[in-house]
């Protein structure tokens, strides 16, 4: 169970083993702590009591805060979840050796393969109804093979040796991927192509908000695995930049957010916005609902079908065991199609 709060003026309090959300003495929501997995607060003007924070900490329930455009800006966790040492030491050492280089390659290859598989997934439903589009999507997916081989064949023993070239390969195929997906986005959305920060069109705003929700889930998985979310590999270090979150999220963007939101708009969902041109409350609520719902759906993984949320946690743990030398290699998650 998830608690999502975005009503300006709302107050989150603890009440007899539950979290209660109220506004001006009106009760809006109430959920039992026993079944609560996380709290997500979006936008400003929402308050939370110290008792509610303590109750969540005692139960291991994270509290995530997003801006109104979906940018994650903070999370609250129990101190016990962030008190690991051995794994973090191994993670930092990996940066300067072959383990870090192997992880950077794997994150990139996983993203490339998942982009290709999402294109194949979209293509298979259009083989009969739109053969030309099917062919275009299939051709774009096939081109990922060259990029994956290019990543494999890059020479270099450390992250510093590889980063710039890995990002170059990833960036070139990303342009191809988004260019192919443009044919699927409804024309009435006037999609200009992929834009990140400062996007003014509704579909990019929805994608960015969806990534913000996914970001909180990836960060939580990383912390539970004993890793430092700010000590990344593929993404360069920068003060306040959660580089490892940005690394691991690459394996899951396509399966969790791109597929979900593309499916929503192609089935007629209207992205609605307020007078400022921002996603309105109903749209944000739907994005959160659908992204979290997708995380509970299953994918083939290690010989059986498992929920994506479980797969995400396993991948974070695999990073930890790999940098500690307890796993021979790190294999990225690849979605089915």
The CATH number of residue 53's host domain is 3.100.10.20
Within-domain flag for 329: no
Same domain, 52 and 186: no
Same domain, 239 and 105: yes
Same domain, 42 and 102: no
The CATH number of residue 288's host domain is 1.20.120.920
Percent of the chain with pLDDT over 70: 99
| Residue 307: predicted pLDDT | 97
Within-domain flag for 70: no
Within-domain flag for 80: no
Mean pLDDT, residues 137-156 taken together: 96
Q: Give the end-to-end CA distance of the chain in Å, rounded to a whole number.
A: 28
Within-domain flag for 92: yes
> Taking 90 as the threshold, does the pLDDT of residue 238 lie above it?
no
Range of the domain at 43: 2-61
Within-domain flag for 193: yes
Residue 39: burial class (beta carbons within 10 Å; 0-12, 13-18, 19+)? buried
Phi, then psi, of 3 in degrees rounded to 5: -110, 115
Long-range Cβ pairs for the range 59-63 (8 Å, 24+): 59/33, 61/33, 61/36, 61/37, 62/38, 62/216, 62/220, 63/38, 63/39
pTM over 0.85: yes
- How do residues 105-137 score in pLDDT, each as one tens digit? 999 999 999 999 999 999 999 999 999 999 999
pLDDT confidence tier of residue 82, bands split at 50, 70 and 90: low
Mean pLDDT, residues 7-27 taken together: 94
Same domain, 101 and 10: no
> Taking 80 as the threshold, does the pLDDT of residue 83 lie above it?
no
What does the block give as tokens for 151?
A: 């990543």
């Amino acid at each position: 169970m998830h608690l999502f709060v975005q009503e300006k003026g709302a107050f989150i309090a603890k009440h007899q083993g539950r979290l209660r959300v109220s506004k001006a003495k009106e009760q809006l929501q109430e959920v039992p702590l026993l079944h609560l997995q996380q709290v997500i607060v979006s936008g400003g003007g929402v308050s939370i009591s110290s008792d509610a924070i303590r109750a969540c900490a005692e139960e291991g329930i994270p509290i995530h805060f997003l801006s109104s455009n979906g940018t994650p800006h903070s999370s609250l966790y129990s101190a016990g979840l962030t008190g690991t040492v051995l794994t973090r030491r191994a993670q930092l050492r990996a940066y300067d050796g072959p383990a870090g280089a192997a992880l950077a390659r794997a994150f990139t290859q996983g993203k490339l393969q998942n982009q290709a598989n999402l294109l194949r997934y979209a293509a298979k439903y259009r083989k009969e109804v739109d053969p030309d589009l099917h062919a275009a999507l299939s051709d774009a997916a096939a081109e990922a093979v060259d990029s994956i081989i290019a990543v494999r064949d890059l020479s270099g023993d450390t992250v510093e040796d590889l980063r710039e070239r890995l990002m170059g390969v990833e960036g070139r195929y990303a342009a191809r991927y988004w260019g192919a997906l443009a044919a699927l986005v409804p024309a009435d959305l006037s999609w200009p192509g992929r834009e990140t920060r400062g996007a003014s069109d509704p579909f990019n705003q929805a994608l960015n908000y969806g990534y913000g929700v996914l970001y909180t889930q990836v960060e939580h998985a990383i912390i539970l695995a004993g890793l430092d979310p700010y000590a990344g590999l593929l993404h360069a270090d920068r003060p306040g930049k959660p580089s490892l979150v940005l690394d691991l999220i690459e394996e899951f963007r396509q399966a969790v957010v791109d597929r979900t939101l593309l499916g929503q708009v192609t089935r007629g969902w209207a992205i609605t916005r307020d007078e400022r041109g921002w996603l309105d409350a109903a749209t944000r609520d739907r994005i959160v609902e659908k992204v979290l719902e997708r995380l509970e759906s299953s994918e083939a993984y290690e010989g059986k079908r498992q929920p994506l949320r479980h797969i995400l946690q396993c991948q974070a743990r695999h990073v930890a065991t790999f940098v500690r030398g307890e796993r021979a290699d790190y294999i990225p998650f690849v979605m089915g199609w």
